[in-house]
Amino acid sequence: MALMTGEQYEESIRKLKLNIYMLGEKIDNPVDDPILRPSLNSVKMTYDLAQQAEYEDLMTTTSNLTGEKINRFTNLHQSSEDLVKKVKMQRLLGQKTAACFQRCVGMDAFNSVYSTTYEVDKQYKTNYFKNFKKFLTYVQDNDLTVDGAMTDPKGDRGLSPSKQADPDLYLRVVEIRPDGIIVRGAKAHQTGMCNSHEVLVLPTIAMRPEDKEYAVAFSVPTDTEGITMIIGRQSCDTRKSEKDADIDVGNKVFGGVEALVVFDDVFVPNERIFLNGETEYAGMLVERFAGYHRQSYGGCKVGVGDVLIGAAALAADYNGAARASHIKDKLIEMTHLNETLYACGIACSAEGHQTKAGNYEINLLLANVCKQNITRFPYEIVRLAEDIAGGVMVTLPSEKDYNNPATREYVDKYLVGVASVSTENRMRILRLIENLSLGTAAVGYRTESMHGAGSPQAQRIMIARQGNIPAKKKLAKAIARIKEE
């Protein structure tokens, strides 16, 4: 099977025996849970769009491993054009879901593990590259969704993995067996874990020789014994479980999800190990994964931004302010910021280069500049959307009051904007802006923009490393005609 349909994907997740907890309860059926279901719908969209002729060029490609048609989310990028198409695909998905569609973390992990394992094997004669190609072929053949698991809980940020008071605060190998390893620890903030078939674990920071047991990369099915997912709480999440909830949810159909994922002595067979103790390669893996993931945000957040800009423009239409010059200017500013993010995503892709393993990597400096802008611009876009929406965005009565005959007339009469638009439609657009700015989608649009793929300082460190100030000094000296002593 090369491509799964959305329905087949849904059924495949339904068959997994996932160990999930949320809001103090064990969730035996995540697929139909009202809080989790929108997040599954977002991933499902990556399958649905791949079935449509209109999106075939963006959503699918040919595997370099098997020659078969595959979903682009399982692709090893074969050119700069592939990298550009990745960003365009992500913008499309952002536009269609207005949420985090979760499947890109795995794609970014594939590309970084592929090129890194190639280089580790060259030095150490290990089998990691072969192992990884076998795993990815299985992923491509079955069109699987894979959680990219990098971030450890990290405990005291001032201490290295092996110096932590609790040695499990970074995921580590606790036992080596003839047929595999036992790992213990956790990965925090795991996007889409409960909607994934497999989890691909990577180290979270560069490591020293004393951190040997922490320098580990591997994959296992998400329902492997010993894995527990504890779903993160999102602002306004229980609105989704209110009876007949619709308007108040803002985005009823789509959402994102994160989880704290515990690995309590999980067995990993030898053929699924992609790094085990080669500490000097942990940093390379982190840097490459982060680079790809920083590129990703130049697509997905831009697509969500498109929806937010559209919502703000509608809010202005609905309250009669659309013709005001400052409103027009604010929409221009939002567009300018959003397209600047897209320009960064496209630029770091177009300037991509081939790795030693053969797949394509983004321009790291430009990818880090892209993500640094992502840590700022969505906040400004949200600020402008809130300005245009007006205070009613946060003081709006609930749809229960709208549906209650005792209050409906008042809500209809006093919360209308222009006479030609229903109060209900005005409420719908205000709730969507609330959802993206402060509600469940703000997890993906705001705070993930800040911390996802690394907090702002992580990009500044990379920009400092890649910025090549000495070369720029030389340029200045040449122009100023300074002769070196």
H-type helices in 180-324, by residue range?
282-319
Known catalytic residues are 100, 104, 191, 258, 293, 297, 300, 448
Query: For 382, phi and psi rounded to 5 degrees?
Result: -65, -40
For position 189 contacting ligand FAD by CB under 6 A, the verdict is yes
- The CB-side HSE value for 40 (13 A sphere, CA atoms) comes to 22
Among 29, 62, 455, 468, binds ligand FAD (CB under 6 A): 455
- In the bound state with ligand FAD, the residue whose beta carbon lies nearer, of 71 and 440, is 440
User: What's the rounded Cα separation, in Å, for the pair 272 and 219?
Assistant: 6
For position 443 contacting ligand FAD by CB under 6 A, the verdict is yes
User: What's the rounded Cα separation, in Å, for the pair 97 and 95?
Assistant: 6
For position 191 contacting ligand FAD by CB under 6 A, the verdict is yes
Among 190, 219, 234, 437, binds ligand FAD (CB under 6 A): 190
- In the bound state with ligand FAD, the residue whose beta carbon lies nearer, of 118 and 297, is 297
Q: How far is the CB of 455 from ligand FAD (least distance, A)?
A: 4
Among 6, 180, 305, 452, binds ligand FAD (CB under 6 A): 452
User: What's the rounded Cα separation, in Å, for the pair 483 and 475?
Assistant: 12
- In the bound state with ligand FAD, the residue whose beta carbon lies nearer, of 65 and 369, is 369
Q: Which helix (H) or strand (E) holds 354?
A: strand 353-354
Tokens of 421: 């638009």
For position 156 contacting ligand FAD by CB under 6 A, the verdict is no
Query: For 380, phi and psi rounded to 5 degrees?
Result: -70, -40
For position 413 contacting ligand FAD by CB under 6 A, the verdict is no
CB 211 within 8 A of CB 287: no
Q: Which residues between 200 and 259 bind ligand FAD (CB under 6 A)?
A: 258
Q: Which residues between 52 and 111 bind ligand FAD (CB under 6 A)?
A: 105
Tokens of 194: 């409960």
- In the bound state with ligand FAD, the residue whose beta carbon lies nearer, of 24 and 158, is 158
# residues near ligand FAD by CB under 6 A: 23
Among 15, 26, 125, 157, binds ligand FAD (CB under 6 A): 157
User: What's the rounded Cα separation, in Å, for the pair 277 and 289?
Assistant: 19
Q: Which stretch binds ligand FAD (CB under 6 A): 212-220, 377-385, 447-455, 466-474?
A: 447-455
Closest CA to 295 of 202, 352, 353, 362: 362
Query: For 128, phi and psi rounded to 5 degrees?
Result: -65, -40
**Residues at the contact surface with ligand FAD, assessed by CB under 6 A:** 105, 148-151, 154, 157-158, 187, 189-191, 258, 443-444, 447-448, 451-455, 457
